[in-house]
A = this chain, B = another copy of it.
Amino acid sequence: MSAYKAPLRDLRFVCDELLDSDGHYQKFPQYSEVNRELRDAILEEAGKFAEQVLAPTNRNGDEQGCHFEDGVVTTADGFKEAYQAFIDGGWSGLSMPEEFGGQNLPKSMDLVVSELFSQANHAWAMCPGLTAGCRSTLLAHASAELQQTYLHKLTEGRWSGTMCLTEPQGGSDLSFLKTKAIDNGDDSYAVTGTKIFISSGEHDMSENIIHLVLARLPDAPAGTKGISLFLVPKYLPDANGEAGERNTVKAGSIEHKMGINGSPTCVMNFDDAKGYLIGEPHKGLFCMFTFMNAARIGTALEGASHSEVALQGAMRYALDREAGRALTGVKSPERSADKLIVHPDVRKMIQTIRSFAEGNRAFAHFLGQLVDSEIHGDDQQKAHAAGLLALLTPIAKGFMTETGIESASLGIQVYGGHGYVREWGMEQNMRDSRISTLYEGTTGIQALDLLGRKVLPDGGEKFGQFLKMIAASLPEMDPQFAAPLGAKLQEWEQLTRGIGAKSMSDVNEMAAAATDYLMYSGYVVVAWFWGRMGTLAKAKAAHSDELFYRAKVATAQFYFQRLLPRTTSLKESIEAGSSSLMALSDEEFEQLLG
């Protein structure tokens, strides 16, 4: 098993050198005391926690999985202890307001920390990640009383949270939702129904579990417009605010999955469970989107994290393992073979992984800063950030998770047959990575959201603003990056126009283009970050002999030369249109199956 190392140098490059964290924090009055030094101190400690506490339990979690018996879930050895250390270290409430016991730090800092945690142990990090989403939703939409009752414990981490959307009869399609909530006449509701795929729905790490549950009131209109959001605790708070009486919500079973085995994925049965309405009746989906949008950025970051794990493993093996000889001549005559790193194709795999790990990292933490602006900025900053987040979140979620799986698979490939056995952790990384294009909305759902809800409906307004933002950065960008990126911007705009025009007469043209379009967009957005990083690193390399900068330039060049060209094929595929997809009717597909 490769020893995980927190990538602090690169995180600092992204946050401080590329994204000017100090300048960013100073935009917000409430963060006047936040600065790079403070962030650095937190980063160091988070790195230690990830390396020393979380990473050592990662394989345990995979091999032992979770134990289920009569509604009780026992997590793998070390998970509970790691969670207690997480509470004790004060990691849970980093970005929560002080009034609930939090440390009042920016969300963007949470994201930096959670990158490290999910690299070290994706399965374990699911629980704190969901708790954070639960807290954000309560902060934004719950009554002051519910906030007082629940947010202190959720901030401390002694209570954890979940998101209960999916039901057996429908996954992404919430119009199927059957779970019912009936008014008890005392400000509480009786919630009844079955939810599936509930991450951390039941476990032994926290004292209480707070479920956010989508359900229908008796008078609810049909479809997705009749869904309300309820808070349903595992234990009802007692007079002292501690976990008291057991509520009638219980795990029915856990799933046997491909990966993230350390995270219990539960079927949850609500049987007249006592719950409390969050926000307005029938406006539950709106509230849940607070959760969902944060979760999508978190999932995007998981994708980037799987690339980082693959990078560390592949680099270590390529520099340790000896096989064959360099084609250009023996490199290590004293050894019976040269190291794997001499082979161009091994380097190509490693640089592909690195391009995604580091490029996606920059993209993700850029989004983290936008989240800060969306919450704490002035009106103009809020609107700007909200618009960009709406556009970029589906791109980030889809692209970073798809390329996370590719990276994880290449991580195995660098190891040859050794990558297929458990010992080195590369196959676990791939199995763990595979969930990320599925949950929080599949890539196909992100793609429809991007093209059908974000790019096309406003006549390309938001999209055009983003293009201008990129274009504005080109004059300061090194021409080796600015020239191809400028050309891609034009191409992207034309491509978008073309899809828009065709979709006017046939909406299937939009849907048939959507996933290719999402990936195309991802490659261009990440090219923007690589162009800026390459330019910055080239300038710094002139005044520093730190290898880090030269490597950054080389990777930027690699990305532009060998990965950005993937856009060309995606464009060709998009422009070929929907006809070959729609040539057979549904019934004909049915007959084909026989």
Contacts and interface: CB of A to CB of B under 8 A. Distances in A.
A592 B547 contact: yes
B572 A565 contact: yes
A68 to B, nearest CB: 14
B434 A341 contact: no
A319 B514 CA distance: 21
A405 B444 CA distance: 19
Interface in A418-437: 418-423, 427, 430-431, 434-435, 437
Interface in A538-594: 547-548, 550-551, 553-554, 557-558, 561-563, 565-570, 572-573, 576-584, 586, 588-594
B416 A586 contact: no
Interface in A310-353: 315-316, 318-319, 322-324, 327-328, 331, 336-337, 339, 341-351
Contact of A257 (B339, B343, B420, B430): B420
Nearest to A437: B413
B409 A344 contact: no
A507 interface: yes
Nearest to A563: B573
Nearest to A318: B589
Given A586-B331, A586-B341, A438 B409 contact: no
Contacts of A594: 5
A362 B275 CA distance: 59
Interface residues of A, number: 109
A435 B421 CA distance: 10
A570 B566 CA distance: 8
Contacts of A512: 344-345, 348
Contact of A171 (B416, B427, B452, B507): B416
Contacts of A137: none
A554 B580 contact: yes
Interface in A431-464: 431, 434-435, 437-439, 442-444, 447-448, 452
A442 B413 contact: yes
Contact of A580 (B351, B579, B582, B583): B351
A319 B589 contact: yes
Given A323-B172, A508-B327, A551-B584, A412 B439 contact: no
A578 B569 CA distance: 21
A570 B569 CA distance: 9
A567 B565 contact: no
Nearest to A514: B345
Nearest to A523: B569
Given A341-B589, A568-B569, A576-B562, A347 B582 contact: yes
27 contacts: A173-B324, A173-B337, A175-B336, A256-B423, A258-B420, A258-B430, A327-B452, A327-B507, A328-B506, A341-B589, A344-B508, A344-B514, A344-B581, A345-B444, A345-B514, A345-B515, A349-B444, A413-B437, A420-B435, A553-B583, A554-B583, A557-B583, A558-B580, A562-B573, A562-B581, A565-B572, A567-B569
Give the top 4 A-B pairs by smallest Cβ distance, nearest first: A565-B572, A561-B576, A258-B427, A569-B569
